Amino acid sequence: MSLDDTDRIIGALDHELALALDVADAADAFTLPHFHEADFDVDWKRNRTEVTEIDRRAETLIVDRLLHERPQHGAFGEEHGPRGVLESPWQWVIDPIDGTSGFVRGIPIWATLIALVHADRGAVLGVVSAPALGRRWWGGLGLGATVSVFGDERPIVVSIVDDLSEAQVSITHNAGWDALGLTPALLRLQQRARRSRGIGDFWQHMLVAEGAMDVAVDAVGVAPYDIAAVKPIVEAAGGSLTDRFGVSTHLHNTAISTNRLLHDTVIAELAD
């Protein structure tokens, strides 16, 4: 891609961010009251993960708003799949409620994820809105990274910890790591770190972007809609987000974010 093409993409993102933030406001206004009231039934998908009518209705709300404002774009959501102009270079990738398992149990660690992906540059913009936590993060190519905590906005950057023995790490263990034979490697990583937590989902990556965590290792089995929004925010804050092999993508089934200084070390720890 030429510099002119990159500049053109960056130039478009201010308007796309403003739209994504407006849509996140509408999504929060819909999801948060239902979380507080717990006025929903829980179904189960084939992969044995929870889903509610709130997930499905929130995705419809989000995608309807996005495609009304950007009819030339495409969209892909966790619950309803592809919509819009699928051959467009611009695709919105949506997880209406990331952390549904917490949502249905009254745990406030859930968020709406809205990403904009370009065919040549990948995920270029992300909004992560966690209204039950009073937090929202956004950022992307040429936009920097920002967090809003109960409406108080500030720019965010990753930490400068460059020694794993001084690092705060978040590890999400699951059967996928067992199947790869890498659970012992995760345990060694935790033991080498100064402190380890198991926060999971979007929040661990946003804490890396804020500089509160230095490393976040997600579960095996993540999907593009889990990662597309968090990746550009982590990168805009100065960090790295790749798969377990170090490939920079939101399309694979593993995701590791770091402050960049520790990335090679973590990837090496998790090598087969």
CATH of domain 164-269: 3.40.190.80
Identical fold between 3-155 and 164-269: no
pLDDT at 5: 65
CB 147 within 8 A of CB 153: yes
pTM above 0.75, yes or no: yes
pLDDT digits (tens, 9 = 90+) for 167-215: 999 999 999 999 999 999 999 999 999 999 999 899 999 999 999 999 9
The values of phi and psi at residue 259, to 5°, are -80, 15
pLDDT at 45: 62
Tell which CATH architecture fits domain 3-155: 2-Layer Sandwich (3.30)
Say how far apart CA 100 and CA 129 lie, in whole Å. Answer: 14
Average pLDDT, the chain: 94
Any idea where the domains of the chain sit in the sequence?
3-155, 164-269
pLDDT digits (tens, 9 = 90+) for 49-76: 678 889 999 999 999 999 999 999 999 9
- Which three-class secondary structure string do you get for the chain? CCHHHHHHHHHHHHHHHHHHHHHHHHHHHHHHHHHHHCCCCEEECCCCCEEEHHHHHHHHHHHHHHHHHCCCCEEEECCCEEEECCCCCEEEEEEEEECHHHHCCCCCCCEEEEEEEECCCEEEEEEEEEHHHCEEEEEECCCEEEEEECCEEEECCCCCCCCHHHCEEEECCCHHHHHHCCHHHHHHHHHHCCEEECCCHHHHHHHHHHCCCCEEECCCCCCHHHHCCHHHHHHHCCCEEECCCCCCCCCCCCCEEECCCCHHHHHHHCCC
pLDDT digits (tens, 9 = 90+) for 111-154: 999 999 999 999 999 999 999 999 999 999 999 999 999 999 99
